[in-house]
């Protein structure tokens, strides 16, 4: 799409973007923000409230990105604001233990079925890196199995792409990742249990862990097929492999206790992030007590952090998690109802125009793929018409709806989204899709 034809006033965002390029690589602190997949100028945001964001030009948008997941109660939720202000007055960091860390840990252990003990870190990336190190230390094995199209942050041994050939040895997916890193990462196809079994059997006694997004969200939203997660559990049990659910995105989102609660499959370790920090930088990993006690200082596997369990972040996380614990019987039904209604309306809109589509929705996340294929893994997700998605994204933006700036990122819903937003979104979508279709 010719973004210059955009009728949105983006004068300030354009200026900031230009200025940012001089001192920040690509003008952004995380690549997906640069709108590379859809083109155009990234919006520079000034503030947000509830379901809405406003940019530096004064445009207002209904937000379906929610900071890529954390904002399940919307922006500037009063309980989070108060918690953070209150803590800031008592200092923002001590590097010594605090009571609030225990309270957050207790909430996490109560909410997430498999977690008996939990360690706080500062991001999802740190959580997955640490969990994989722990699994390796605990099992005394080097190899890990991950799935094509799953994202676990930017740790070296996760930035691995499928190589050629039937045995699917990994290859570095970024310069700077060594062949040494790649040789210990095996790539499996999502939703393909036979492929995983084959990899495990070909590397008998060498695989420390299988790490999986139990509902994939980083190639668009793709649910596990019936039996897939159960099959991984059985395989891990049979071969003494640590099963890690990366619930950085799905934790507290598809159910209070994540996918493991929703589907009833229990991993050995779980990685958390995003919602757990209420919009502040928090990650966590936790699980079986015998494995978690293998972390220092009780165990030999080293992991540490100057700002881990930071009181400001813990206060924000505590505000979110205690609200979830108190209101979970109501809010997850409401989130699901909103997401389902939006999916139904979206299908109607697409069918009225005879456009090819596949939609997925699990709890408070979902995706619209512009393809008529069944989307079950990375290969089928990639059949989507990304040019059409880019055009749709920009048409929606002009309508004041902020969608993820990539076909392969999920949409997130929050308790801030209500009936009135549903109607606004579907009406905007009808106009946007007509434009895309033309
Ligand atoms: C976002 C995400 C990560 C990385 O978390 P960061 O906080 O961005 O480092 C890891 N795994 C999954 C499934 C994610 O969605």
Q: Any idea what the CATH number is for the domain that residue 152 is in?
A: 3.40.640.10
* Backbone angles phi and psi of 377, in degrees to 5: -160, -175
Please report, rounded to a whole number, the percentage of residues in the chain having pLDDT higher than 70: 97
Domain boundary among 277, 299, 324: 324
Ligand 1 atom showing the smallest separation from residue 249 Cα: 15
Tell me, yes or no, whether 164 and 298 share the same domain: yes
Q: Which residues are designated catalytic?
A: 151, 246, 274
Task: For residues 232 and 378, state if they share a domain.
Answer: no
**In contact, 43 and 13? CB cutoff 8 Å:** yes
Q: 208 and 167 share a domain?
A: yes
What are the phi and psi torsion angles at 273 (to 5°)?
A: -175, -160
Residues 245 and 377 in one domain: no
Distances (CA, A) of 52 to 91, 227, 401: 30, 38, 9
- Pair 59, 92 in one domain: no
pLDDT of residue 438: 78
Of the candidates 297, 324, 351, which is a domain's last residue?
Answer: 324
Peptide bond connecting 297 to the previous residue in cis, omega within 30 degrees of 0? yes
Distances (CA, A) of 95 to 132, 286, 300, 310, 329: 25, 21, 21, 8, 36
Predicted local distance difference test score (pLDDT) of residue 362: 98
Show which of 308, 324, 340 is a domain's final residue.
324
Q: Are residues 141 and 92 in the same domain?
A: yes
Task: For residues 114 and 137, state if they share a domain.
Answer: yes
- The whole-number pLDDT of residue 90 equals 98
Domain count of the fold of the chain:
2
User: Same domain for 273 and 332?
Assistant: no
pLDDT tens per residue across span 176-223: 999 999 999 999 999 999 999 999 999 999 999 999 999 999 999 999
Question: Are 103 and 241 part of one and the same domain?
Answer: yes
Q: What is the pLDDT of residue 327?
A: 98
- Protein residues whose CB sits closer than 6 Å to any atom of ligand 1: 123-125, 128, 151-153, 213, 217-218, 246, 248-249, 273, 283
Same domain, 156 and 252: yes
Q: How far is the CA of 290 from the centre of ligand 1 (A)?
A: 25
Mutate which of 69, 129, 152 for ligand 1 pocket (most atoms within 8 A of beta carbon): 152
| Look-up of token digits 């997130």 | 412
Quote the ligand 1 centre to 153 CA distance (angstroms): 5
Which pTM was predicted? Answer: 0.97
> Both 35 and 110 in a single domain?
no
* DSSP per position, 191-226: T-HHHHHHHHHHTTTTEEEEEE-SSB-BTB-BPPPT
| Segments forming the whole domain that contains residue 298 | 78-324
| Tens digits of pLDDT across the chain (438 residues) | 444 456 789 999 999 999 999 999 999 999 999 999 999 999 999 999 999 999 999 999 999 999 999 999 999 999 999 999 999 999 999 999 999 999 999 999 999 999 999 999 999 999 999 999 999 999 999 999 999 999 999 999 999 987 665 455 678 989 999 999 999 999 999 999 999 999 999 999 999 999 999 999 999 999 999 999 999 999 999 999 999 999 999 999 999 999 999 999 999 999 999 999 999 999 999 999 999 999 999 999 999 999 999 999 999 999 999 999 999 999 999 999 999 999 999 999 999 999 999 999 999 999 999 999 999 999 999 999 999 999 999 999 999 999 999 999 999 999 999 999 999 999 999 999 999 987
Whether 212 and 194 map to the same domain: the answer is yes
What CATH number is given to the structural domain containing 58? 3.90.1150.10
CA of 435 to the centre of ligand 1 (A): 34
């Amino acid at each position: 799409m010719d973004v210059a034809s955009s009728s949105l006033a983006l004068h300030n965002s354009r200026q900031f973007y230009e200025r940012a390029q001089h001192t920040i690589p690509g003008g952004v602190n995380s690549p997906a923000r640069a709108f590379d997949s859809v083109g155009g100028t990234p919006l520079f945001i000034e503030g947000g409230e509830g379901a809405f964001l406003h940019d530096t030009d004064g445009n207002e948008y209904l937000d379906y990105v929610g900071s890529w997941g954390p904002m399940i109660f919307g922006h500037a939720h009063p309980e989070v604001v108060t918690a953070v202000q209150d803590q800031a007055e008592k200092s923002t960091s001590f590097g010594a233990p605090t009571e609030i860390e225990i309270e957050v840990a207790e909430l996490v252990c109560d909410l997430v079925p498999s977690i008996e003990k939990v360690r706080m870190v500062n991001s999802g990336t740190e959580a997955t890196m640490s969990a994989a190190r722990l699994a390796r230390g605990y099992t005394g094995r080097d190899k890990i199995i991950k799935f094509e199209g799953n994202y676990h942050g930017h740790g070296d041994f996760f930035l691995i792409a499928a190589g050629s050939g039937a045995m699917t040895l990994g290859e570095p997916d970024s310069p700077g990742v060594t062949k040494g890193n790649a040789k210990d990462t095996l790539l499996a196809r999502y939703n393909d249990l036979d492929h995983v079994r084959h990899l495990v059997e070909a590397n008998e006694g060498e695989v420390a862990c299988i790490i999986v997004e139990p509902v994939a969200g980083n190639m668009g939203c793709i649910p596990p097929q019936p039996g897939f997660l159960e099959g991984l559990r059985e395989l891990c049990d049979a071969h003494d492999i640590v099963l890690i659910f990366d619930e950085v995105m799905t934790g507290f989102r598809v159910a209070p206790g994540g996918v493991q609660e929703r589907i009833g499959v229990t991993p050995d370790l779980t990685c958390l992030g995003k919602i757990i920090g209420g919009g502040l930088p928090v990650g966590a990993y936790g699980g079986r007590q015998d494995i978690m006690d293998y972390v220092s200082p009780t165990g030999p596997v080293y992991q540490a952090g100057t700002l881990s369990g930071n009181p400001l972040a813990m206060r924000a996380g505590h505000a979110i998690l205690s609200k979830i614990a108190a209101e979970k019987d109501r809010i997850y039904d409401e989130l699901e109802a909103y997401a389902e209604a939006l999916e139904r309306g979206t299908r109607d809109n697409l069918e009225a125009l005879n456009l090819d589509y596949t939609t997925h929705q699990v709890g408070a996340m979902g995706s619209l793929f512009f393809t008529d294929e069944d989307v079950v893994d990375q290969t089928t997700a990639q059949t989507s018409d990304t040019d059409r998605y880019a055009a749709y994204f920009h048409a929606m933006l002009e309508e004041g709806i902020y969608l993820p700036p990539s076909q392969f990122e999920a949409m997130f819903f929050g308790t801030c989204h209500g009936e009135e937003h549903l109607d606004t979104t579907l009406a905007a979508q009808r106009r946007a899709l007509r434009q895309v279709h033309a």
